[in-house]
A = this chain, B = another copy of it.
Amino acid sequence: MPKLSERKKQMVEKMMRGALYQAASSVMSEYGWPGLTMDRVAEEAGVSKGTVYNYFKDKKELVWFVITNLALDIEERLKNIIESHQSCAETVKEIVMKELQGRREHGHLATAIIHAFHEEPELRKRMLSSDHPFNRVDKMIEDLFARGMEKGEFRKMDPKAMQSVFSAILMGISRRWAGGRLDIGTDEMSDFIISLLNEGIVRKDN
């Protein structure tokens, strides 16, 4: 029965790629993007360098997998937040709080990924394909704003522009924390961003 062994093989493969994802993330967090060497990943994962190459054709493949997985994590978190709220305004509020919190904790990782992305033209090109998780994350946020407008919670505007600005804020603040250039607390910053968005994008009835 070849199917069983086939399934088993696939499972092993999946687990191995997962383990290597963990290892690569960990190395990136600790050493940053330029410190992400195949040796370190292999050692962190407890396998040999050759093994890494058995599961990933080259370094780019590995990095791509890491980026994608990270985006999937974010996508998952977002989905949960979105599904558990009725009000779009409330949803945005919670995204700000949770994401700022989460990214502050993994600041270096996010930064490292940005580096990777900007560094490798090939990665950049692949990222532009519309069904990448990163793009889906962007789309989810865009849709959230669009929905808010339809429901009358937000005033009319270009949802794509709004999403870009929103993401820029989250990313920029995270990076400032990671770089030690900002000593405002997470809560204060959340409150501030939310108040900015509220009084800026919420329609005022009177």
Interface residues of A (CB under 8 A from B): 32-35, 89, 111-112, 114-115, 117-119, 121, 124, 127-128, 145, 152-155, 157-158, 160-162, 164-165, 167-169, 171-173, 175-176, 178-182, 184, 188-189, 192-193, 195-204
Interface contacts beyond A117-B179, A124-B179, A197-B201: sample of 11 additional A-B pairs, CB < 8 Å, sorted by A: A34-B34, A35-B119, A112-B118, A115-B119, A124-B180, A157-B201, A161-B192, A162-B201, A164-B176, A168-B173, A198-B200
Quickly give the copy total for this chain: 4
Contact of A168 among B162, B168, B200 (CB under 8 A): B168
A114 to B127 CA separation, bound complex (whole angstroms): 20
Contact of A203 among B111, B119, B152 (CB under 8 A): B152
Q: Which of chain B's residues have a CB closer than 8 A to the CB of A115?
A: 33, 115, 118-119
Q: Which of chain B's residues have a CB closer than 8 A to the CB of A192?
A: 157-158, 161-162, 165
A112 to B176 CA separation, bound complex (whole angstroms): 16
Query: Most B CB atoms within 10 A — which of A117, A128, A168?
Result: A168
Contact of A169 among B155, B169, B195, B204 (CB under 8 A): B169
A33 to B160 CA separation, bound complex (whole angstroms): 29
Q: List 13 A-B contacts (CB under 8 A).
A: A34-B119, A115-B119, A118-B179, A155-B202, A158-B184, A160-B182, A165-B172, A168-B171, A168-B173, A168-B176, A197-B201, A198-B202, A200-B200
* B184→A32 contact, CB < 8 A: no
Given contacts A155-B203, A179-B118, A202-B199, contact A167 B161 (CB under 8 A): no
A189 to B164 CA separation, bound complex (whole angstroms): 10
Contact of A128 among B118, B180, B196 (CB under 8 A): B180
